[in-house]
Chain A
C-alpha cells in the first residue's frame, strides 16, 4: 500500500466477513494504531485500534468515561446527537471515580469468581430446560430465540429478582436501545419505559423483599430509589444482550470452524480456554468503549488534547497481530486471556465472571446434547447484527 489510509469519517462499520473486523479498521491499525478520526458532529478526535494503545487508554483514568462528555463515533446509536445525555445517578458505566468507585464497590462482592461458581447449578438448570424445549421442538430451530437469548435473560432475572414474565418488556426495550436504526425519540422512550419499570420493581422489593440481588441492594440502605432503579437497569440490560450474542455468534463460529469444533468435542477441558478465544475472536462490543481526555495526554507519540474524544475499537485491538499472531485464526488452544473483550481498567466488565460461567455451561451443554448440530441455512444467509450496538447474529437456524 502506497497511499496512507485516509482519516476515517466516523467509525468504520462495514464488514466483509461475519467474523473479521471491518477492513477499514484493520488497515488503519496496521498503519496508525492511534489515528485521527472525524466524528459525525465534526469533532476531530481519535480512534485507537492497536492492542497496547487500547490498553493504555482504558487503564488511564484521565481518559474519562463521563457520559456527558462523550461523543458518538457513528451517526446513529445510543450516543447519537439528541439522545438524552443526562446521566442518572447510579449509571456507573458512564462516570468517573469517586462516584464510580462507590457504586462499583456495592456490586463487586456479588460478582466474584467464587459467587458465580455458586450459581452454576441454577445456570445449568436453565440451560438444560432450554435444551429440553429445543430438543422437543421443530427443526430447524432458531438458536438465538430458543437458546442464546433466553439463557442469559433467565439467569439475570433469577439473579436480580426480575419476574420472568416481564422478559418480553425488557428484551424489547433493550433491542430498541441497541438498534442503531432506532430514532432518537424512540430510544428516549425506551429508556424512560425501562426506568419506570425498574422503579416499580424497586418499590416492589422494598415492600416485599426476596432473596435476590435487587432486594439485597435495597436492604443495604446505601442507595436511594433513583440509584437503585438505574443500577438495576444497567445490570439487566448489560447482563443479557452481550452474553446472548456471544452464545449465538460463538456457535456460528464453531460451526464454521469444524476442526476447532471437533477438537473441543474431543477434549471438553479446553472449554474455558475456548471461551476466552471466542471472546477475543468475536469481540461483540464493536462500538467503543468511548473516552474523553481530561488533560493533554501523550499516546503513541501523539498529543491527545484535553476535551478530545477517543474511541477504542475492541475488534481491531483483539485482532492485533503484534499481540495475537495470526489473529484471523480461531485457535481454541491459544492463550487469549489478555483480550479486551471485557474492556480494561476500572470499568472492566463487572459481570464477566457470570458471563464466563454462562458461556462454559451454555456451549458445553449444547454441544453435548446435540452431537450432530449443524447450520440449517447457507452461511451467508445468516443475518448479521451490523445494525446493532452489540454485534452477533439476528438469527441462527440450526438442525441436529
Chain B
C-alpha cells in the first residue's frame, strides 16, 4: 500500500490549531501567523488515524489526504 500523502491549503487555513492538537507529529502551526505547517507529509501508518481525524475536524476543510 502506498503511503498517504498530506496536502494543505495554507491560504484558507484559519489557524484554529485543531490539527496540531490531534495530530502533533504531523502538523504544527507557524509561529508568526498560526497557520498550519506540515511536519511530515507522508505520516507513518501509526499516525493515520489521527491525521484522518485532523482532516475531518479541520474547521476550514484545509487538509486533504491523497493516496
Contact = CB atoms under 8 A, between A and B. Distances in A.
Nearest to A100: B14
B20 A112 contact: yes
A104 B14 contact: yes
Interface residues of B, number: 23
B59 A346 contact: yes
Contact of B56 (A104, A105, A112, A338): A338
A111 interface: yes
Contacts of A109: 15, 30-34
B35 interface: yes
A347 B16 CA distance: 9
B59 to A, nearest CB: 4
Contacts of B16: 342, 348-350, 352
Nearest to B15: A108
A343 B35 contact: no
Interface in B14-31: 14-18, 20-22, 24, 28-31
Nearest to B14: A346
Contacts of A348: 14, 16, 18, 59-60
Interface in A91-139: 104-105, 108-115
A59 B21 contact: no
Contacts of B17: 111-113, 352-353
B44 interface: no
Contacts of B29: 112-114
B60 A346 contact: yes
Interface in A18-58: 58
B4 to A, nearest CB: 20
Nearest to B21: A113
Contacts of A342: 16
A105 B18 CA distance: 16
Interface string A338-378: 10001111111110110010000000000000000000000
B61 interface: yes
A349 B14 CA distance: 10
Contacts of B56: 338
A222 interface: no
B57 interface: yes
A193 interface: no
A59 B24 CA distance: 24
A104 B59 CA distance: 15
Contacts of A356: 21
B40 interface: no
B47 interface: no
A300 interface: no
A322 interface: no
28 contacts: A59-B60, A104-B14, A104-B15, A105-B15, A108-B33, A109-B34, A112-B15, A112-B20, A112-B29, A113-B17, A113-B20, A113-B21, A113-B24, A114-B20, A337-B21, A337-B57, A338-B56, A343-B59, A345-B14, A346-B14, A346-B59, A346-B60, A348-B14, A348-B18, A348-B59, A352-B16, A352-B17, A356-B21
Given A59-B59, A109-B33, 15 more contacts: A108-B33, A108-B34, A109-B30, A109-B31, A112-B30, A113-B17, A113-B20, A113-B28, A337-B18, A338-B57, A342-B16, A344-B59, A345-B60, A348-B16, A353-B21
Closest 4 CB pairs of A and B: A108-B34, A108-B15, A348-B59, A112-B29
